[in-house]
């Protein structure tokens, strides 16, 4: 039951934060931020907010600083929209999803190149022995 409540609360916080960020903050450092996930602790006191930023490393860093400096305002915004006795503290954590996706794409490209190289070698390969190495049953007319 508690994990269901945590998940519901996390989803609600994600929606509230996404709507608030869509309206914009007055911080020029904030880039195009997407809230990817919110995980709430079992006691509902703390929420880890995972986010991604579209752009360069500098833009990601600047957006992270902007979110951290706006944490108090965003927490009070969450508190206004939640029907809970306590508002959880917020911690903004950059989601490693884009970096992982880039790494996976690189690995897939590498594997594709290796497959192409192996296919090239296989197309010009010849059999080491007979083409059909399997022993066939003797027919009635065959004698040694």
Band (85; pLDDT cuts 50, 70, 90):
confident
Model pTM greater than 0.75? no
Whether 130 is in a domain gets the answer no
pLDDT of residue 144: 52
**How many domains is the chain built from?**
1
Whether 38 is in a domain gets the answer yes
Q: What is the pLDDT of residues 16-57, one digit of tens each?
A: 988 888 887 777 777 788 888 899 988 889 999 998 888 788
Whether 9 is in a domain gets the answer yes
Whether 103 is in a domain gets the answer no
Closest CA to 17 of 103, 79, 59, 64: 79
Distance of alpha carbon 135 from the chain centroid: 53
Q: Which residue has the higher pLDDT, 134 or 133?
A: 134
CATH of the domain at 55: 3.30.300.20
pLDDT of residue 46: 92
Whether 35 is in a domain gets the answer yes
Q: Does residue 2 surpass a pLDDT of 70?
A: no
Helix (H, G, I), strand (E, B) or coil at 39: strand
Structural contact between residues 90 and 68, judged by C-beta atoms closer than 8 angstroms: no
Residue 64: both structure tokens together: 């992270």
Over residues 132-141, the mean pLDDT reads: 72
Whether 6 is in a domain gets the answer yes
Whether 52 is in a domain gets the answer yes
Domain carrying residue 41? 2-95
Whether 16 is in a domain gets the answer yes
């Amino acid at each position: 039951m508690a994990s269901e409540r945590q998940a519901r609360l996390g989803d609600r916080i994600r929606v509230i934060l996404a709507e608030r960020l869509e309206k914009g903050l007055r911080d020029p450092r904030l880039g195009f931020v997407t809230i990817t996930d919110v995980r709430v602790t079992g006691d509902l006191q703390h929420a880890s907010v995972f986010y991604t930023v579209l752009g360069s490393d500098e833009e990601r860093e600047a957006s992270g600083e902007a979110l951290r400096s706006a944490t108090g305002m965003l927490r009070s915004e969450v508190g206004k929209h939640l029907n809970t006795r306590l508002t959880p503290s917020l911690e903004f954590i950059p989601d490693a999803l884009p970096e992982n996706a880039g790494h996976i794409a690189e690995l897939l490209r590498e594997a594709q190149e290796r497959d192409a190289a192996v296919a090239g070698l296989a197309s010009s390969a010849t059999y080491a022995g007979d083409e059909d190495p399997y022993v066939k049953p003797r027919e009635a007319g065959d004698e040694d």
